[in-house]
Structure 1
C-alpha cells in the first residue's frame, strides 16, 4: 500500500462528517496531532441536525448498519461505541407495504424472517429465503476484506483468489435476476434489491455484488442510536476532542497553500493560516478539486446517483401501521427507475421510505408529537430538473407526496403536520453536492473499487481524500471505512484489529426492552 511521503506529525482534516471524524480517531490513535476544520457549528456533515419548532431532526441517514466500523474508530483511541451511544436494534428492521395491500415485516433474525416469509408467500419462498441469506453472507465474506475494506493502488489488486470466489458466487451477474434464483415473488425481490438505489443503479442493471448492501440491511442488523443518527457523529467528535483533537467550528477552508508537491498550510475564512504536514479532504469532490485548483483526470465524466426529496414533518398524530422504517412500494417498479435514472422525471407512482424516529425515541419531538421523515428518490440535476426548476416544482411535489401517502392509508397526514421542512435537489446543490445529490458518484462498475476516484492525489505528496466520493463509496459503514483507509495512507498502517462486537459491546437493546452493556 502506498502511503504519504515525508513528515505527517500534524494533520489537518477538512470536514467533521462521519469520514472526517473516523479519520481523526484513527490518526489520534496513531499518535498524530489533528486539527479539524468544519464549516458548520456542529459535527456530522450529511448526518447533521437541525431544530424545527421543538423537533430535533436528523438531516441525513436514518439507519445504521454494521456498527462495528464505528466501534473500530472509537477503539483507536481506547474508547468504544457502547460507552458513548446507546444502540437499539430494530425489530423489524423495516416494514414493507405494497400496492396490493399486503405487508411484510423484514427481520434480520433468520428464523423470524423465514416464518414471516412463510406467512407472506408460502413454504417455497421461505426455503428460498434461507438460501438467499446464505448467498448474501457469502457475498459479504468474499468482498469485505479484499474489495471494500482496502486501499487500492492498482486494478491489478483485483487479481486475487477472492475475485474467482466472487465470480463463482455470480457476483458479476445482474442483481435482480440473481436474487430471482432464490425467491420468485416479485414483492420479495423488491425487498432484497431496492438497496441497489443506494448505489445509484437500478436493480436490473446493478452488479449482483452490490447485494452486499442487502446483507447489511437484512442479515447483519439495523440499528438506531438513542438521540437520533446525529448522536453518532456527536459522540465521535466528543471522543476525538477528549483524545486531543483541536476543532475549529463555523470555519471554512478558503485556500490550500502549496510549495512544490506539498500542501504546507490551510487558510480559513477566519483569516487563520494553519501550518500542517498533511491534509485530509472530506468535502464533495467538486469542492476538493476547487480547493486544489485542478480538474479530475478522468477519460469519462463521473456519473452521479439519483437524488432525493425529503419531507421532514412534525405531526400531532401518527399511524399505527408505520414501523420505525416503512417502505411504501408503488405498483410500478422498473418504470420508476427508468424515470429517475434515464428520463430525468419524478416518479409517477413513487416508492417511498418513511421513517418515524419517535418510535424509539419520543424525546426527538415535543410531548405527544411525532416526527416523520419521508424520502422520495428523484433524478439528479444532471438529467432532471435543475436547482432553479426545483424552486418552482417543490410546492406542487410536496403536495403530491402528501396526497399519495394519504391515499395509501396515512389518513389526515396533511392536516396533522404542524412543522415541516422540504429538502430538494436545489438544497443539495446549495450545500455543494455535485449534480444536486447527497449520494455522490454512482456505483457503476467503472466507478467502483480501483476505478472509483482514488483517495491519493497525483502530484501532491501529502493529501488524502475521504468520504463517499472516493473508495469504498456511499453509505454510513463505507464512509467510516473511508476514514480509516485515509488514515492508513498517512500512518502506513495495514491490516485491521477489528473484532465483531457482541450485543453487549454495542449496547444493543434486546427484544424485551431492557438495556445491556451501557457504560455507567
Structure 2
C-alpha cells in the first residue's frame, strides 16, 4: 500500500494538475507555492519521508542529520512561509548561533569565527596578527559587495546568460559586475586579503559548499562569507525537521504527498508533458510537472527519451565532488566541540590535487564535524551524542573498494587526533560516493550537480524552464545552485515560471478593434 497524505485540495475537480517529482527542498518549495496558488498539486517521493538529501539516519538509537547541516539565508524560508500565510519561526524553532564555526589546524591552533564581526576581527588579530584582521575587514566588504551585486539579478531570478545578466544590472551596474572578479579563482583572490596560509585555506573552503576546488572555482564564491555573516541558525529537529514542516504546510494548502512511490518516466503527448508514469503501471495525468531530481537523471534518460532531450547532459568530467560521511553515536573527548567544527588538512594544494586531478580521497583530508547536540558553549548532552563527520571525495559510481573506505576512516581519525579529538564510538553508519550514486541515480555520486569551475559554470546549470513544454526543474543541480536556501529558491523560481507561462498561454479576452475585427 502506498502511503498517501492528502491535503484539503487534493481532489479538487477542474483545477490544473501539477505533479512534483521529489520531496527534496526544491520540490517542497515548488509544491508549497503552487498549492498556495490554487493548483492541484501531487508530490511523488520514492522515500518514506520528505527531505531528499536533508535526511536523518538512525544510528545507535539516535537520529543523526546526515545531509546538509548549516542553515543560512533565513529570509528565503520566511518569505515562502509568509506567502503561504504562515510564520516560519512559529513552526520551526530557530536559534541564531553566536559561533559560526570552530576551526583547527593542529595542536593549539584554533580559531573561532563569530556572528559578531568585531569578535571575529579580534580573534583573527590574536591568531595571526592585526594585518590579517585588516584583511578580514576588507574581505568582508568585498564579499558583501559581490552578494549585493548578484542577489537581485542572479540569485533571485531565472537563469540569465552572461549578456542577460549584464542587461539586468544595467549600465550603472556594469562596474559592480566587473568587480566581482568572475575570471579570477577563489584561491587567487584570497591572496589579496590574507597572507597567513591558514586563513586563506579557511575561506577557500567555501568552494566545497558547491562541490568544487578553490583552485578552479571563481572568486564570486566569496559571497558565501557574507551569507554566513548574515546569520547561521540552529533548527530544532535539524534540517530534516524543516523539510517536515514545509511538507505539512504544503499539505494544509492542498497538496497531496505520495511517499514510497517511484517515478519511472514522463508521459509526453502533442509535444508537451502529459503525465507521470509510476512503478507498477499507474499513470498520473498532469498539465505540468516539476522535476526535483538531479538534472543528470533527466538528461541521462531515466525519465524517458523524449524528456532526456529537454536539457543538455552534464559531462562526467564536470561533475561536482561527492563525500564520505560518517554518522556516529559517539562520545567525543579532548577537543571542545561546538556545533560546527572544521579540522584542516596540512596541505590544501595536495588535498585538492588528490580530489580534482588524481580523483582519489585525499591522503590528508580536511574533516568537518557537526556536533548536533551542542550549543555555543560547547555543552554536550552527556553520553553518546549525534555526530556527523564529512570528508570531501571525488564522485564515482565505480565498484567500491573496502580498503579505500577503511583508509578514509583511518586518515579521518588521524586528522582529528592531530587536534586532540578522539571519538569513543557506540555506533556508526558510513556513506560513500557509490552509496550516493545509488541514492541519486545518474549522478555518478556527485552531490552538487555540475562543479563551479570557471566563470561560465553558473551559466551552464539548467534553469527552471526546459525544452519540453510543461516540464520545469528544481533542486541543487539547477540555477541558482546547491545548498538548502539556493535549492529552495530554485523551487520558488520553478513555481513562478510555471505560473507565468500558464498565464501567458490563456486565451486573451476578445476585444473590438477600430478596424472592426476582433482578436482572440
Question: Normalising by structure 1, what TM-score?
Answer: 0.86
- 2:171 is aligned with 1:157: no
Give the greater-gyration-radius structure (CA).
2
Q: 1:248 aligns with which of 251, 258, 279?
A: 258
Tell me, yes or no, if the aligned pair for 2:319 and 2:446 is still in contact at 8 Å: yes
Structure 2 unaligned regions, length at least 5: 1-13, 503-520
How many Å apart are 1:118 and its aligned residue? Answer: 1.6
**Aligned-partner Cα distance in 1 for 2:371–2:433:** 23
**Aligned-partner Cα distance in 1 for 2:78–2:22:** 20
Deviation larger for 78-87 or 34-43: 78-87
Name the residue aligned to 1:337.
352
- 2:315 is aligned with 1:301: yes
Tell me, yes or no, if the aligned pair for 1:448 and 1:472 is still in contact at 8 Å: no
Name the residue aligned to 1:484.
492
Matches within 5 A, 1:313-352: 313-352=328-367
**Aligned-partner Cα distance in 1 for 2:383–2:107:** 32
**Aligned-partner Cα distance in 2 for 1:342–1:216:** 30
Name the residue aligned to 2:199.
188
Q: Deviations over 1:79-138 (max 9, x none)?
A: 121111111222211001013631100112121111111211222222221121111111
Name the residue aligned to 1:61.
68
Moved over 6 A (4+): none
**Aligned-partner Cα distance in 2 for 1:300–1:430:** 18
Q: 1:15 aligns with which of 8, 19, 22?
A: 22
Name the residue aligned to 1:45.
52
How many Å apart are 1:388 and its aligned residue? Answer: 1.2
Q: 2:244 aligns with which of 224, 227, 234?
A: 234
Name the residue aligned to 2:235.
225
Question: Normalising by structure 2, what TM-score?
Answer: 0.86
**Aligned-partner Cα distance in 2 for 1:396–1:182:** 36
Q: Deviations over 1:408-427 (max 9, x none)?
A: 3123x2xx101100110110
Name the residue aligned to 2:221.
210
**Aligned-partner Cα distance in 1 for 2:174–2:402:** 46
**Aligned-partner Cα distance in 1 for 2:287–2:310:** 23
**Aligned-partner Cα distance in 1 for 2:411–2:105:** 19
Q: CA RMSD in A?
A: 2.4
1:441 is paired with a residue of what secondary structure?
A: coil
**Aligned-partner Cα distance in 1 for 2:238–2:159:** 34
- 2:417 is aligned with 1:417: no
**Aligned-partner Cα distance in 2 for 1:177–1:61:** 27
Tell me, yes or no, if the aligned pair for 1:443 and 1:473 is still in contact at 8 Å: no
Deviation larger for 230-239 or 397-406: 397-406
Matches within 5 A, 1:73-472: 73-99=80-106, 101-152=108-159, 154-160=161-167, 161=170, 162-217=173-228, 219-289=229-299, 290-293=302-305, 294=308, 298=312, 301=315, 303-360=318-375, 368-381=383-396, 386-411=397-422, 413=423, 416-433=424-441, 434-445=443-454, 448-458=457-467, 460-472=468-480
**Aligned-partner Cα distance in 2 for 1:317–1:109:** 28
1:172 is paired with a residue of what secondary structure?
A: coil
Tell me, yes or no, if the aligned pair for 2:101 and 2:113 is still in contact at 8 Å: yes
In the superposition, relative to structure 1, how do residues 304 and 115 fare at CA in structure 2: closer, same or farther (>3 Å)? same
Deviation larger for 58-67 or 352-361: 352-361
